[in-house]
C-alpha cells in the first residue's frame, strides 16, 4: 500500500469520486460542460493528495493539499450551475 492510500482524506476522496459519477448520471442533458468539469475536478482531488504526499517539504505538500481542497469546493458548486 502506498503512503497516500493510508490517509483518511485520500480514502474519502475516492468515495467522493464514486459519488460524483452517480451525480453525473443525474445531470440534465445539455450540460456537457458541467459534466466535464465535475469529472475533471473530482478526479483531481485524489490525484493532488497522492502527489502532495510525495513532495519533500511541508510547504510544497501544502500547495497540493490546498489545490485538492479547491477542487473539492469546485465540485460542491458545480451541481448548482445546472439549475
Length of the chain: 83
**Among 1-5, 6-10, 60-64, whose mean pLDDT is lowest?**
1-5
Average pLDDT, whole number, for the chain? Answer: 93
Average pLDDT estimate for 53-82? 92
Nearest-5° angle of CA 34, CA 35, CA 36?
90
Average pLDDT estimate for 52-79? 94
Q: Are 68 and 13 in contact (CB under 8 A)?
A: yes
Stronger pLDDT, 1 or 6, i.e. the higher one? 6
Global pTM exceeds 0.85: yes
Amino acid at each position: 500500500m502506498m503512503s497516500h492510500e493510508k490517509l483518511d482524506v485520500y480514502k474519502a476522496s475516492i468515495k467522493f469520486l464514486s459519488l460524483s459519477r452517480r451525480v453525473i448520471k443525474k445531470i440534465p442533458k445539455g450540460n456537457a460542460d458541467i459534466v466535464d468539469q465535475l469529472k475533471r475536478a473530482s478526479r483531481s482531488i485524489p490525484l493532488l493528495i497522492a502527489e502532495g504526499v510525495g513532495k519533500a517539504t511541508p510547504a510544497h505538500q501544502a500547495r497540493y493539499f490546498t489545490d485538492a481542497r479547491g477542487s473539492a469546493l469546485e465540485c460542491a458548486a458545480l451541481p448548482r450551475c445546472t439549475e
